């Protein structure tokens, strides 16, 4: 019985489709990565985020990830640009894909103050692209080695990207099923009036009903759009909605490249025929020769052992993708207050949170206490991010304890007074200011020194 189920699974995964969608996705992903990386470089963010800071908030378990110094960081971003170009061209695709995935993920892991959902999404997409033969059609790899050319690929090679996008959208929608988002339209009720200077529509954004409309529309869009994109009957209007939705969010909220990344990669949902037309158009523009068909009917086929390995990797990947966004259920308290289980969960623009944190280091032998000037160790951006996120508060406290041990203080006591406001609720004490954070260990357990969120005081 078990073998029959596995045979059916392999048979389903082994159904063939045209390779054109993978080639278009390769070009689209590489192009948006090229623009994004150049944009990051020219905005001075390499220096601001990775060179200037003397201390970095690494992810738990990744303390060994360190910046490469000024020359090393600029060289790494140059490598990412070259890799993105090679991905677009389909030249040395495997090497370029591995280089981009490792390089980009390395940068992302240096400092979690820069964490954004779309950075995580880029790493996920880059990882998935390592497992597909996106370079074996309309590429320079095929030009230099014609025997690589194929026309048919197993359906799983395109299906994994569709599944990933459906999960991203669906979990983004699930995360909006909250009292704050749907019943009181927070934080859109706070954010939208800030755009009242826009011509024509600006005055409308100050009305509360508009905030409620966008809150509910955003929730429904995220919950349903992936399924509409899967259906041939609704795919075209759904993609038009994708364009409108992401351009609108990009216009109103200035969230960088994320809207354009989503617009580009969701083309994978369209039929192979559509992608063939796109490639013929590119041929006509670039080489003045359109409607060129492949001279081979070669099929991409993995050896059984390799196929089993790939499917095992993908099953692990998607199991993680299904479970990781749900891990917040293991923690008590209000998620957006504690942020335990918040990252890597496709929660986008769901809270307005700000705060300040004041640290004190006490010498237990003398009783002398020193108030820390955070800016002596952190950039302004790092300080703002740290003040509202408990794991960063703890990490900085451990750093301070080590610093003062180096100055001769044995077992320094590090405490913090942190005041945070969430979704306009008013500033309140965030963590227990009596707890010696130097003695608290970082792990995946609930941080009991986070004070509970109370709606009324």
Q: What is the pLDDT of residues 302-328, one digit of tens each?
A: 888 999 999 999 999 999 999 999 999
Query: How far is the CA of 386 from the CAs of 56, 58, 302, 404, 449, in angstroms?
Result: 11, 12, 47, 20, 16
> Which helix (H) or strand (E) covers residue 17, if one does?
strand 16-18
- In the prediction, which pLDDT does 2 show? 53
Q: Which of 446, 350, 431, 353 is nearest to 396 (CA)?
A: 431
User: Does a structural domain hold residue 1?
Assistant: no
**Across the chain, what does the average pLDDT equal?**
92
In a domain, 251, yes or no: yes
Establish if 389 belongs to a structural domain. Answer: yes
Residues pairing with 416 in the sheet: 359
In whole angstroms, what separates CA 238 from the centre of its chain?
23
CA distance 123 to 100: 9
Write out 350-367 in H/E/C secondary structure: CCCEEEEEEEEEECCCCC
Say if residue 250 is in the same domain as residue 363. Answer: no
Asked if residue 4 is part of any domain, the answer here is: no
Indicate left, alpha or beta for 116 from its phi (over 0: left) and psi (-120 to 50: alpha).
beta
Radius of gyration of the chain, Cα coordinates, nearest whole angstrom: 25
Q: Choose one of 328, 362, 390: the last residue of a domain.
A: 328
Task: Indicate if 281 and 409 belong to the same structural domain.
Answer: no
Please tell me whether residues 202 and 64 are part of one structural domain: yes
The rounded distance, in Å, linking the Cα atoms of 109 and 338 is 21
Whether 397 and 289 share a structural domain: no
Cα–Cα distances in angstroms (integers) from residue 400 to residues 10, 62, 113, 396, in the given order: 54, 19, 18, 6
Point out the domain boundary residue: 261, 295, 328: 328
Q: Token digits for 267?
A: 């083309």
Same domain, 47 and 192: yes
Nearest CA-CA partner of 426 in 186, 181, 254: 186
Give tens-digit pLDDT for 176-193.
999 999 999 999 999 999
Look at the chain and report how many structural domains it folds into: 2
Are both 80 and 180 inside the same structural domain?
Answer: yes
Within a domain: 14: yes
Cα 170 to Cα 172: distance, rounded to the nearest angstrom: 5
Write down the pLDDT at residue 209: 93
Statement: the pTM of the whole predicted model exceeds 0.75: yes
- Residue 445 in any domain: the answer is no
Do the Cβ atoms of 154 and 16 come closer than 8 Å?
yes
Asked whether residue 283 is domain-assigned, the answer is yes
Smallest CA-to-CA distance from 178 within 319, 337, 320 is with 337
Residue 333 lies in a domain: no
Domain identity same for 227 and 368: no
pLDDT at 317: 97
* 312 and 363 part of one domain: no
Q: Is 128 helix (H, G, I), strand (E, B) or coil?
A: helix
Q: What domain range is 393 assigned to?
A: 352-439
pLDDT number for residue 375: 95
Both 297 and 209 in a single domain?
Answer: yes
pLDDT (tens digit per residue) in 241-251:
999 999 999 88
**Token digits for 63?**
């303390």
Give the residue from 225, 309, 300 showing the smallest Cα distance to 263: 225
What is the model's pLDDT at position 6?
A: 56
Residue pair 222/172 in contact by the 8 Å Cβ criterion: yes
**Are 124 and 81 in a shared domain?**
yes
Say what the pLDDT of residue 457 is: 46
Residue 170's closest CA among 373, 14, 346?
Answer: 346
**Is 433 found in the same domain as 305?**
no
Judge if 243 and 356 occupy the same domain. Answer: no
Structure tokens at 20: 């054109």
The structure tokens listed for 371 are 């108030």
**Taking the CB of residue 64, how many other CB atoms lie within 10 A of it?**
7
Residues of the chain below pLDDT 70: 1-14, 289-296, 455-457
């Amino acid at each position: 019985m078990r073998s029959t189920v596995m045979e059916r699974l392999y048979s389903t995964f082994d159904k063939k489709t045209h390779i054109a969608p993978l080639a278009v996705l390769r070009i689209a992903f590489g192009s948006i990565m090229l623009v994004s990386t150049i944009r990051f470089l020219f905005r001075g963010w390499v220096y601001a985020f990775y060179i200037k800071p003397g201390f970095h908030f690494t992810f738990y378990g990744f303390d060994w990830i360190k910046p490469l110094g000024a020359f090393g960081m600029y060289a790494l971003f140059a490598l990412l640009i070259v890799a993105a170009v090679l991905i677009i061209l389909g030249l040395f695709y495997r090497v370029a894909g591995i280089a981009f995935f490792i390089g980009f993920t390395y940068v992302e892991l240096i400092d979690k103050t820069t964490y954004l959902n779309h950075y995580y999404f880029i790493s996920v997409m880059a990882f998935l692209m390592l497992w597909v033969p996106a370079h074996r059609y309309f590429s320079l790899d095929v030009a230099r080695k014609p025997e690589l050319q194929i026309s048919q690929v197993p359906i799983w090679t395109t299906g994994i990207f569709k599944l990933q996008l459906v999960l991203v959208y669906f979990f983004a929608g699930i995360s909006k099923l909250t009292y704050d988002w749907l019943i009181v339209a927070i934080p859109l009720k706070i954010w939208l009036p800030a755009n009242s200077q826009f011509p024509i529509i600006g005055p409308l954004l100050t009305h509360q009903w508009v905030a409620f409309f966008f809150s509910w529309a955003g929730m429904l869009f995220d919950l349903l759009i992936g399924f509409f994109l899967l259906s041939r009957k609704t795919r075209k209007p759904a993609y038009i909605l994708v364009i409108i939705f992401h351009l609108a969010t990009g216009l109103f909220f200035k969230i960088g490249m994320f809207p354009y990344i989503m617009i580009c990669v969701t083309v994978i949902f369209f039929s192979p025929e559509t992608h063939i037309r796109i490639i013929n158009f590119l041929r006509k523009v670039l080489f003045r020769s359109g409607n060129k068909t492949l001279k081979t009917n070669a099929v991409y086929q993995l050896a059984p052992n390799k196929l089993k390995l790939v499917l095992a990797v993908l099953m692990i990947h998607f199991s993680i993708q299904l479970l990781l966004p749900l891990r917040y259920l293991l923690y008590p308290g209000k998620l957006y207050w504690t942020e335990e289980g918040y990252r890597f969960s496709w929660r986008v623009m769901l809270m307005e949170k700000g705060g300040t944190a004041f640290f004190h280091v006490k010498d237990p032998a003398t009783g002398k206490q020193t108030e820390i000037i955070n800016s002596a160790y952190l950039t302004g951006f790092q300080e703002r991010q740290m003040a509202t996120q408990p794991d960063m508060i703890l990490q900085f406290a451990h750093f301070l304890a080590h610093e003062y041990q180096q100055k001769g203080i044995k077992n320094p006591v590090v405490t913090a007074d942190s005041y945070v406001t969430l979704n306009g609720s008013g500033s309140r004490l965030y963590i227990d200011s009596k707890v010696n954070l130097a003695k608290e260990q970082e792990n995946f357990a609930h941080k009991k020194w986070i004070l509970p969120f109370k709606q009324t005081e």
